[in-house]
Amino acid sequence: MKRLPAALLALAMAAGAAAASTVEQPRAFGHVIGDLLTQRVLLEQDGQPLQPAALPAAARIDLWLERRPPRIESDAEGRRWLAIDYQVINAPRALTAISLPALSIATASGVPLSLPAWAVSIGPLTPVDVLGEGDLQLLRPDRPVAPLPTHAAEQQMKLSLLALLAVIAAWFGWWAWRNRREAQQLPFASAWRELRRIGDPTSPEAWRVVHRALNRSAGRVVHGASLPQLLADAPYLRPLQPRLEDFYRESTRRFFAESAGAPTARNAAYPLKPLCRALRDAEKRHRQ
């Protein structure tokens, strides 16, 4: 009996080993665009582990398939598998048969891993034609959505609104109380309230009201000569200095010139109310 050459013997052994590779193929039917089809080959031969020399490159295979980067994974028994994913990247118009390509993967021991071609079918996402009978229609009616329970959210909203209204009411109450207190306690605010009640700004009482407010603000009697001291103690009144000087000059003519026997014409159009309102506003800005 003739002995085979060593090279032919090696090829025969490699072919036998390749034929004995354990391969798990994906399901052969029911695939559509976007699906992943995974081939798995056992990295083991006759109980001995195999190490691939080079893995297949990720690439587009044809019109229908694209190969993802291969990976090596282990199962529950600790066996190592080479997994190769193919993704369907196009949708046919009708049911179509395609094939995962055959592969021969070299290993470090020289025994190649052989993956045969594998036929699968892919189909469109939706059929071109529908039956149009009974409930099998081209378009289906909108599916009613069950309403979500909103009672808890409504109660929470009511409580939040009540809390907000309570805060607003409390703020307005504090604001009204503060204005009322200031109108009673602050000199110029109190004078403005009295002046509005008197009505006639030319009456002696109206002028006395403004004088008393200036005296209360200074804490002493103020007259034209001591006005600079008042402005030094109350700098917020300095913008009104020309009007205050004019007020004291007019007051001197009204009250002292006539009492000294020198009659003088009263300036009935003197803006006493605008002056008092300006003093009140300056006082209010200073207190804020």
- The pTM assigned to this predicted structure is 0.43
Q: Which of 52, 87, 122 is the last residue of a domain?
A: 122
Structural domain of residue 218, as residue ranges?
182-287
Which residues touch 273 (CB under 8 Å, ≥6 apart)?
A: 195, 196, 201
Compute the distance between CA of residue 56 and CA of residue 59 in angstroms, rounded to an integer: 9
Could you report the per-residue pLDDT of 135-167, keeping only the tens digit for each?
Answer: 667 677 788 888 889 999 999 999 999 999 999
**105/11 same-domain check:** yes
- Do 189 and 283 have their domain in common? yes
Do 111 and 187 share a domain, yes or no? Answer: no
CB–CB of 137/103 below 8 Å? no
The mean-pLDDT minimum among 8-22, 129-143, 259-273 falls in 8-22
The whole-chain average pLDDT of the chain stands at: 84
Q: Please count the CA atoms within 13 angstroms of the CA of 256 that sit on its side-chain side.
A: 8
Domain total of the chain? 2
Instruction: Please identify, among 72, 101, 122, the residue that sits at the C-terminal boundary of a domain.
Output: 122
Contact, 84 vs 67, CB < 8 A?
Answer: yes
> Same domain for 114 and 35?
yes
Q: Determine, yes or no, domain membership for 205.
A: yes
User: Is 259 inside any structural domain?
Assistant: yes
- Residue 217 domain-assigned (yes or no): yes
Residue 43 CA, chain-centre distance (Å), reads 51
12 shares its domain with 114: yes
CATH code of the domain in which 53 resides: 2.60.40
* 61 located within any domain: yes
pLDDT at 3 exceeding the cut of 50: no
The tens digit of pLDDT for each residue in 10-54 reads: 444 444 444 457 899 999 998 999 999 999 999 988 888 899 998
Query: What percent of the chain clears pLDDT 90, i.e. is strictly above it?
Result: 43
177 within domain boundaries: no
